[in-house]
Amino acid sequence: MINNAKERISVLDGFRTIAILSVILYHYFYRWNDSEYPYFGGNYFHYGFKGVPFFFMISGFVICYSLEGTKDFISFWKKRFIRLFPSILVASVLTYCVLLIFDHYNTFPDNHFRNLIISITFLPPHIYNLFSETPEHFSYINFDYWSLWPEIQFYFFTSIIYFFSKKNFKRNFIIACFAFLLLYNVLLFYGFDQIKIVSKFFNLFNLIKYLIFFLSGALFYMLYNNKTFKLYIFLLIVSFLIINHTFDLLEFISAIIMFLLFFCFIYYPRSLQFLENRFIIKIGVSSYFLYLIHDYIGVVWIKNIVSFFYPNSFIAPILIMIVMITLSIFYTQKVETKISKYLHKCLVNKNND
């Protein structure tokens, strides 16, 4: 289950594969289905966007796992920088160049150099727009990058709590999460979110909107380390109920799938051995870069070739999906690995000598 050489848990890479394929199928077959040369599949993959909350759950698990092997706050952030920055820099430049050359239909009009620059800072465009005379002057080079900002906030939130008191991390983390969730929902209940400044605050610091998914992943990590501690199971049930507080059938089904996968991983790992297939793991390992490049680049390329396959237009997104996966695996294995080793040597190992 654990690949010691890379300190990765194989099944979690399988989970990442499920999440990223769900998101890609949603984007290619539903969100950007070609209007002139439509292809089937839109109705089947309508809910693939739920792969993003699944990513948040995986992050909740992985960050708690990573923190326990990190000596201090600075080391943790150096490792996060090495993990995140090179890929978003490469992906942003690649997206900018590909759209500049191939976006003949101007599908993505926000492809400006200024948006490339702000995208690699991980900060949301809202912050930069506060200092702009024109509303919405800045935006992401690829709107999918929005999910990185909640991730960054979670890293900061969790690492602060962990390094404040490693011994009491689990208790402090759980109390802090549920306290923030309670406060947020009380504010929503009494309509404080209708106040402009409060609404802007929650849109800017939006971790609270997705915190329940990160928390669920973290609780699964705690349960993974202590499978008989019933409090974690109780808190996971509470988390599940919070996720489903709107009684939405889609939310319920997606939450059931995500929670069942984690429970199977912890208590019935053999049932998920198929997720440890080498190819599935390769996709999972490369899922970060694949997430960053698949949407805008893939959609532009689909629009450029879809007419050649009509009336079997569905071949175009499948073909581009294969290309995106192959490109991401190649980049992760041949480029990112070398960059990561070099940066580790410069930023992490150098300080350990």
Cα 162 to Cα 69: distance, rounded to the nearest angstrom: 12
Instruction: Say yes or no to pLDDT of 161 above 90.
Output: yes
Three-state SS for 85-97 is HHHHHHHHHHHHH
25 three-state secondary structure = helix
The answer to whether 316 and 302 are in contact (CB under 8 A) is: yes
Q: Where are the domains of the chain?
A: 25-33+40-349
Selection from 139, 148, 144, 99 nearest residue 117 by Cα: 139
Selection from 4, 135, 132, 159 nearest residue 73 by Cα: 159
Tell me the chain's radius of gyration from C-alpha atoms: 21
pTM score, whole prediction: 0.94
Cα 339 to Cα 345: distance, rounded to the nearest angstrom: 10
Instruction: Kindly report, residue by residue over 10-39, the tens digit of the pLDDT.
Output: 999 999 999 999 999 999 999 888 776 677
Instruction: Kindly report, residue by residue over 228-285, the tens digit of the pLDDT.
Output: 999 999 999 999 999 998 888 888 999 999 999 999 999 999 999 999 999 999 999 9
Distances (CA, A) of 147 to 123, 167, 193: 11, 30, 21
Q: Cite the beta strand spans of the chain per DSSP E.
A: 2-3, 8-9
Instruction: Say yes or no to pLDDT of 352 above 70.
Output: no
The alpha carbon of 155 is separated from its chain's Cα centroid by a whole number of angstroms, namely 13
